[in-house]
């Protein structure tokens, strides 16, 4: 999905915010998060960097480290966020949950939560307009930067991280800066090369301490990749790949995409990708891989038909062996970013359903009118679909009152199964990494 609101990144990284919220059900913690705050380096992957140096620390926009920001602002320390623990074991835990919201990192983006390490990988656009990957604790304390300033990985956009279940590796997208960009005006060329659109992006792997990198794909100019994901046992890797570029008149406005599925293994501490298969379930134009089913036998994905656009995306499940496809949503809305709940009995996804808004039909319109999206939940067969959050609903206790509404994006459930880390856009621009807990 294009992550609208990141074009011309002039939004402040060093900030906190208070939202105008409806009373009662939505609890919001006011958290002052510093982009420059760095905890002492921890070898959380169980190994140190090969050259003996720790991962690149996150540095403020003026080159100030976290302690210098604190001194500048007169802070002794950054208070930890307040966030409630989830409750599990209800007879119907998703019937009518209360929603709690905590901002972890301003200007943060796409996310992945390692349950083994209890660490969150996320991407964030810097002041140079490029996206990089960072790692933080679940309370918002940044541990390290993974890609910024690193030898061995391209220094364009790097984003869309996903932890390997072992916690030893992270798969992500990296822009090949040597490939020509599409002839778009006003900075759109750089925008589409970001991890939200994926033009000229390849799939890469990194050791969790950022000491080693491996390139998986090598796309041609104006092609690209999106949404790499591991299976829950780590034996499979999938991603979406553009095979006909957006500049080809036959490909319409989104290019032509497929799903790539491969076997994955660690052999003598070296990652191995093999047995590559190309899938086109249902014969769609755009595919966005979302997640493997917990048993690894099915792929959850969103797709748009030929001639369609992002508001035509629906969610699907495909059986890997048989190729049987089940359409889960059919509402002519923006439906994507779907994930299984911890008990594997439900699927949560983002949707524009029930939110009045301009249905943009071009990239330029989407930049000016990014989608307003809330979380929905359904059974794994697509039945019993219901809205889970009401951030864009003025009648809801969850409502966030802001011009341009709220756009919920990429998310991942935490170890308790009731808390998720997510990308949230508030208004026309400005993204944050947040924790949302359902009680």
| Domains located in the chain, CATH noted | 26-438 (2.120.10.30)
Interatomic CA distance for residues 365 and 374, integer angstroms: 20
Strand order in the sheet with 108-114: 108-114, 119-125, 131-137, 142-145
Instruction: Provide the 3-class DSSP secondary structure of residue 232.
Output: coil
- Burial class, 49, CB count within 10 angstroms (exposed 0-12 / middle 13-18 / buried 19+): middle
Interatomic CA distance for residues 254 and 142, integer angstroms: 35
Contact by Cβ (8 Å): 390, 396: yes
Q: How far is CA 369 from CA 25, 311, 362, 401, in A?
A: 28, 12, 10, 16
Q: What angle do CA 92, 94, 96 make, to 5 degrees?
A: 100
Contact by Cβ (8 Å): 54, 71: no
pLDDT number for residue 414 = 96
Phi-psi category of residue 412: left, alpha or beta, with phi > 0 → left and psi -120 to 50 → alpha: beta
Contact by Cβ (8 Å): 53, 97: no
Label residue 38 by pLDDT band (50, 70, 90). Answer: very low
Q: Is the dihedral of CA 372, 418, 22, 384 positive or negative?
A: positive
**Averaged pLDDT for residues 253-281:** 95
Helix H or strand E encompassing 268? none
- Burial class, 129, CB count within 10 angstroms (exposed 0-12 / middle 13-18 / buried 19+): middle
pLDDT number for residue 67 = 38
Label residue 60 by pLDDT band (50, 70, 90). Answer: very low
Label residue 17 by pLDDT band (50, 70, 90). Answer: very low
Interatomic CA distance for residues 92 and 328, integer angstroms: 21
Strands (E), 11-147: 26-29, 99-106, 108-114, 119-125, 131-137, 142-145
pTM for the model stands at 0.81
Which of 38-52, 146-160, 177-191, 340-354 has the lowest average pLDDT? 38-52
Contact by Cβ (8 Å): 36, 65: yes
Work out the mean pLDDT of the chain and round it to a whole number: 81
Helix H or strand E encompassing 73? helix 66-73
Contact by Cβ (8 Å): 231, 292: yes
pLDDT number for residue 1 = 59
Closest CA to 1 of 245, 299, 248, 257: 257
pLDDT number for residue 293 = 97
Interatomic CA distance for residues 321 and 325, integer angstroms: 11
Residue whose pair of structure tokens reads 């989104």 in the numeric block: 254
pLDDT number for residue 360 = 83
pLDDT number for residue 48 = 29
Q: Mind listing the pLDDT tens digit for each residue in 110-156?
A: 999 999 999 999 999 988 889 999 999 999 999 899 999 999 999 99
Tell how many helices (H) and how many strands (E) occur in the chain. 3, 25
**Averaged pLDDT for residues 254-262:** 95
For residue 363, give both structure tokens: 């990239």
Which of 43-57, 83-97, 188-202, 313-327 has the lowest average pLDDT? 43-57
Instruction: Provide the 3-class DSSP secondary structure of residue 72.
Output: helix
How many Cβ atoms are within 10 Å of 270's Cβ, its own excluded? 9
Label residue 19 by pLDDT band (50, 70, 90). Answer: very low
Longest dimension (CA), the chain: 62
């Amino acid at each position: 999905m294009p992550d609208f609101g990141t074009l011309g990144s002039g939004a402040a990284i060093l900030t906190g915010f208070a939202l105008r919220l409806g009373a009662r059900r939505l609890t919001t913690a006011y958290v002052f998060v510093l982009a420059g705050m760095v905890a002492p380096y921890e070898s959380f992957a169980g190994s140190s960097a090969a050259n003996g140096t720790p991962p690149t620390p996150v540095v403020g926009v003026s080159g100030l480290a976290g302690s210098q920001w604190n001194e500048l602002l007169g802070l002794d320390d950054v208070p930890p966020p307040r966030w409630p623990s989830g409750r599990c074991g209800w007879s119907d835990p998703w019937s009518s949950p209360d929603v709690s919201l905590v901002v972890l990192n301003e200007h943060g983006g796409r996310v992945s939560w390692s349950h083994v390490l209890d660490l969150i990988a996320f991407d964030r656009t810097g002041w140079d307009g490029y996206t990089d990957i960072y790692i933080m604790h679940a309370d918002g304390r940044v541990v390290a930067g993974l890609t910024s300033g690193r030898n061995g990985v391209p220094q364009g956009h790097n984003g869309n991280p996903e932890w390997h279940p072992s916690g030893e590796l992270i798969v992500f997208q990296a822009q090949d800066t040597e490939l020509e960009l599409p002839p778009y005006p006003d900075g759109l060329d750089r925008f589409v090369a970001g991890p939200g659109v994926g033009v000229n992006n390849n799939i890469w792997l990194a050791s969790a301490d950022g000491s080693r990198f491996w390139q998986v794909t090598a796309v041609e100019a104006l092609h690209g990749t999106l949404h790499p994901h591991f299976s829950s046992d780590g034996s499979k890797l999938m991603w979406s790949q553009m095979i006909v570029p957006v500049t080809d008149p036959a490909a319409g406005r989104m290019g032509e995409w497929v799903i790539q599925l491969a076997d994955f293994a660690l052999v003598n501490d070296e990652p191995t990708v093999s047995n590559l298969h190309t899938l086109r379930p249902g014969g769609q134009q755009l595919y966005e891989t979302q997640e493997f089913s917990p048993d690894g036998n099915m792929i959850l994905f969103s797709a748009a038909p030929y001639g369609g656009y992002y508001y035509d995306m629906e969610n699907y499940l495909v059986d890997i062996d048989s190729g049987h496809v089940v359409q889960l949503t059919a509402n002519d809305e923006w439906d994507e970013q779907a994930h299984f709940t911890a008990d594997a009995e439900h699927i949560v996804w983002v949707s524009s359903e029930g939110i009045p808004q301009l249905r943009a039909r071009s990239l330029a319109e989407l930049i000016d009118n990014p989608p307003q999206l809330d979380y929905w939940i359904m059974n794994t067969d697509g039945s019993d679909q219901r809205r889970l959050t009401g951030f864009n609903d003025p009648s809801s206790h969850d409502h966030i009152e802001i011009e341009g509404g709220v756009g919920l994006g990429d998310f991942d459930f935490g170890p308790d199964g009731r808390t998720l880390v997510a990308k949230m856009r508030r208004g026309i621009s400005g993204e944050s990494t947040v924790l949302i807990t359902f009680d």
